Amino acid sequence: MSYKLFQEIKHKIADINYAIAVLNWDQETYIPKNGNSRRAQQISTLAGMAHKLSTSKKLAKVLKKLKQDARLSLTEIKNVKLALKDYKKSKKFTTEFVMKESKAISTAFQAWIAAREADNFELYIPALTEIVNIQREKAEILGYKEHPYNALMDQFEPGATINEIDSLFKDVKEKLTPFTQEIFACEKPDNKFMFQHYEHKKQWDFGMNILAQLGFDFDSGRQDLSEHPFTTSFGVKDVRLTTRVNEENFYDMLWSCIHEGGHGLYEQGLKEEEYGMPCGEAISLGIHESQSRLYENNLGRSKAFWKANYKKLQEIFPENLSNTSFEAYYKGINLVEPSFIRTDADELTYHFHIMIRYEIEKKLIEGSIEVKDLKTIWNDAYKKYLNVDVTSDKEGVLQDVHWAHGGFGYFPTYSLGSFYAAQLFNKAKQDIPNLEAEIEAGNMDSLLAWLREKVHKHGKYFTAKEVCEKATGEALNFKYFLDYAKAKYSEIYGL
């Protein structure tokens, strides 16, 4: 009876949190302009309700009892252990703090939208300053070892520390930088064909067909448009993707669609019977990003994938692509060059975008820099690492929504995800001997089945590190990403 009561409480918490997710999804897709005036208050109220349930004496009592229950299954034991950890963490925060943060996030999101529309970072400074202050306070409340940023990163990638992330970015600087410099010195493939006029509806339909090919279940999900592409879930049977469509830039829809599709497939692969329980939730954002980056890059930018899809694309857009050979298309979509926009970046220089954000976040949270100085700091970093001169706030410090969402500690998971993805995809190819031939034939079923078995179905039963080790036979190793990158791009650029 105690475990059933535990489930009932967790289900109620999940119900409220998913209701918040619905309101957030609506805020970024269909909400009328004047609806925003009450949306922050509505979300804040629900966040307060969820927090009260998450820190209730009733939940504490049942968890204490279950901790001593020898009749529980291994999955039930894991759910209790993880829920107890979450309870102790939630208990550190007052309901007032949770509601304050929720309201600040909704306000900051609207300020971000307004600042982007005006291309003026100054409009965002007050709201973002409030968010940063709250995140600094949160780090102190949570407690940490060595650096306050560790406390925030732990929310997205449990157990991760700046020492580990610093080590990975050291590899990026020392091993990836020389290779990208070699590529920069080569003749560039032409990708102008991606920047012609591509009709909105045709782009949309192509993206929907690709999602279906990947295995996304449209009876248990949908796709819509948003300013910043994202994926959210209201449960395994209702997973929402968003993309954006730019009629003069085919990259926007294509990569956003495939990337978010990877996230969505993970959410649809979790166990429905574990609704609201830790073992029914994604392990970490690093593993979540491994799914989106694997589909976007290791699969979506591969020769095999486009052998299955390029002819169809040419038929849809003959005026744009009829004179572009398969080889020219493949090389063009894998162009490596410095850029302003993270989401448009190639899969190699992408990690310099993440490193810049990571280094800025650490300094913001430790208090060595302030929000008012971000624009200058951002622009200087882009000049240092990517040798580009940022001339627009919208293409610079305002390009990402994550800080408006309070997502400090989130960005490192993008690079972690890419490194996990390369290692997982390498092992999938070993375990599925005919995988490349299947992909060339437009069949992605074996890959999805492998990921379901090795990653998706486990929820939080294993840690991210344990999933990596169990799936690939070893801990995360940057070598796999570097080997993948060198093999692929050496061929493309004749190195």
Domains in the chain with CATH codes: 2-143 (no CATH), 162-493 (1.10.1370.30)
Identify whether the C-beta of residue 151 lies closer than 8 Å to the C-beta of residue 402: no
Identify whether the C-beta of residue 84 lies closer than 8 Å to the C-beta of residue 60: no
pLDDT (tens place) for every residue of the chain, 495 residues total: 699 999 999 999 999 999 999 999 998 899 998 888 788 889 989 988 999 999 999 999 999 999 999 999 999 999 999 999 999 998 999 989 988 998 899 899 999 999 999 999 999 999 999 999 999 999 999 999 999 999 999 999 999 999 999 999 999 999 999 999 999 999 999 999 999 999 999 999 999 999 999 999 999 999 999 878 899 999 999 999 999 999 999 988 999 999 999 999 999 999 999 999 999 999 999 999 999 999 999 999 999 999 999 999 999 999 999 999 999 999 999 999 999 989 889 999 999 999 999 999 999 999 999 999 999 999 999 999 999 999 999 999 999 999 999 999 999 999 999 999 999 999 999 999 999 999 999 999 999 999 999 999 999 999 999 999 999 999 999 999 999 999 999 999 998
pLDDT of residue 37: 79
The contacts of residue 81 (CB under 8 Å, 6+ apart) are: none
Burial of 352 (0-12, 13-18, 19+ CB in 10 A): buried
Q: What is the separation of C-alpha 342 from the centre of its chain, rounded to a whole number of angstroms?
A: 12
Place of tokens 């049942």: 62
Identify whether the C-beta of residue 345 lies closer than 8 Å to the C-beta of residue 382: no
**Separation of alpha carbons 441 and 304, rounded Å:** 8
Q: 231-233 and 221-225: which strand pairing?
A: unpaired
pLDDT of residue 125: 97
Counting DSSP H helices and E strands in the chain, the numbers are: 22, 3
The candidate with the shortest Cα–Cα distance to 257, out of 290, 224, 305, is 224
pLDDT of residue 1: 63
Structure-token pair, residue 63:
């968890």
**Separation of alpha carbons 253 and 223, rounded Å:** 12
SS3 state of residue 128: helix
Q: Which residues share a beta bridge with 373?
A: none
Would you mind telling me the total number of residues written for the chain in this entry?
495
Residues catalogued as catalytic:
260
